[in-house]
Each structure stands twice: as structure tokens, then as C-alpha cells.
């Protein structure tokens, strides 16, 4: 069986970027492909829609849960810290590719709390927890790519 060479993370990032409304500022932060020491991004995207700035970290998985190991502790800690600032909205956009395609925005403080306090020994964020603690981002399949309705998180 041939392994797919599709980088689902990059595809998801492109779909997310292309779903952004044209009247807001959205910037994709480049990944450090050389993996230099101490060079870390707290998120994948920065967006601005008056009066708020948004910091989004995108994650995609084909499983029914997102392993803790797929998110760096630095991102969890940093996005949680930034979320305490007035006008700054931070969180994780988590895409579950199966069993039925769905994407949710989970605020950074909820991710932080579950990771450090409420996981009950788990090593992952289960789909059910994400559904209960996140905001569903409706997605429409257009030919072979998805377009997301970002209004649930970008509207004041």
C-alpha cells in the first residue's frame, strides 16, 4: 500500500487562509523549517478584525482525538498568556478529518486548563471534549477543498 504524500496540515492551512473574509487582515507566520534553537512561533495565523486581534494555531488529525504531542507546550502556555490581554483572542482550530469532517475553534484557556488540570490521565484532546468546549466552524466542500465559515469566531 502506497503512503499518501499529501501534507494534510498544509492543505488545511491553505483552506483556512482562503476562507478568511477579504475585509480582515490575516497573516500566515512561516514555519521554521531549519528548526533553529529557540525559534518558535506561538501560532500559525494572526488575524485582525477591529477591535480584536486573533492568534490561531491550526491542527488537523484523522483520529477521533488530537494527541498532546501534536501541540507544543510552548504554544499552549504562550497562547494562554496572550489570551489574558484585552482585545486578544487566542485558540486552536482543530480539524478532525474523520469519522465525519468537522472543525472547531477551542479557546486557548480551555486547552490550557484541560492539558494541565482536567485530562484525567489522558494524553489527547478527545473529539467529544472539543465539541463540548469549542465553537463549530461550518465547512462546505467545494470540489476537492473545504471553505470554512469563520464568522462564529471573527464576528464581534
The one-digit pLDDT tens for each residue of the chain (156 residues) are 556 678 999 999 999 999 999 999 999 998 766 556 667 899 999 999 999 999 999 999 999 999 999 999 999 999 999 999 999 999 999 999 987 899 999 999 999 999 999 878 899 999 999 999 999 999 998 888 999 999 999 886
What local confidence, expressed as pLDDT, does residue 52 receive? Answer: 98
Domain of 37, CATH number, reads 3.40.1350.10
Residue linked to cell 489522558: 122
What local confidence, expressed as pLDDT, does residue 35 receive? Answer: 58
Number of domains into which the chain is organized: 1
Range of the domain at 80: 8-154
Examine residue 2 and state whether it is found in any structural domain, yes or no: no
* 3-state class (DSSP) for residue 17: helix
DSSP 63: S
Q: Distance between CA 120 and CA 140 in Å, rounded?
A: 35
What local confidence, expressed as pLDDT, does residue 142 receive? Answer: 86
**In whole angstroms, how far apart are CA 98 and each of 51, 83, 95, 130?**
35, 29, 9, 14
What local confidence, expressed as pLDDT, does residue 99 receive? Answer: 74
What local confidence, expressed as pLDDT, does residue 118 receive? Answer: 82
Q: Distance between CA 92 and CA 33 in Å, rounded?
A: 21
Residues 6 or more apart whose Cβ sits within 8 Å of residue 83: 89, 90, 91, 107, 108, 109
Examine residue 1 and state whether it is found in any structural domain, yes or no: no
Question: Helices then strands (H, E): number in the chain?
Answer: 5, 10
Sheet containing strand 135-136, strands side by side = 25-28, 45-49, 52-61, 88-96, 102-107, 135-136
Examine residue 111 and state whether it is found in any structural domain, yes or no: yes
What local confidence, expressed as pLDDT, does residue 96 receive? Answer: 98
Amino acid at each position: 500500500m502506497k503512503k499518501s504524500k499529501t501534507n494534510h496540515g498544509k492543505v488545511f492551512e491553505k483552506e483556512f487562509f482562503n476562507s478568511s473574509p477579504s475585509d480582515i487582515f490575516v497573516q500566515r507566520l512561516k514555519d521554521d523549517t531549519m528548526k533553529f534553537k529557540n525559534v518558535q512561533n506561538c501560532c500559525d495565523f494572526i488575524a485582525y478584525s477591529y477591535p480584536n486581534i486573533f492568534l490561531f494555531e491550526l491542527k488537523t488529525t484523522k483520529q477521533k482525538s488530537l494527541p498532546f504531542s501534536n501541540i507544543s507546550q510552548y504554544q499552549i502556555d504562550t497562547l494562554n498568556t496572550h489570551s489574558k490581554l484585552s482585545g486578544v483572542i487566542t485558540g486552536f482550530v482543530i480539524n478532525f478529518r474523520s469519522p465525519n469532517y468537522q472543525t472547531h475553534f477551542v479557546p486557548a484557556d480551555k486547552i490550557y486548563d484541560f492539558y494541565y488540570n482536567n485530562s484525567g490521565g489522558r494524553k489527547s484532546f478527545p473529539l467529544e471534549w472539543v465539541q463540548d468546549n469549542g465553537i463549530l466552524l461550518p465547512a462546505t466542500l467545494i470540489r476537492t477543498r473545504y471553505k470554512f465559515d469563520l464568522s462564529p469566531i471573527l464576528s464581534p
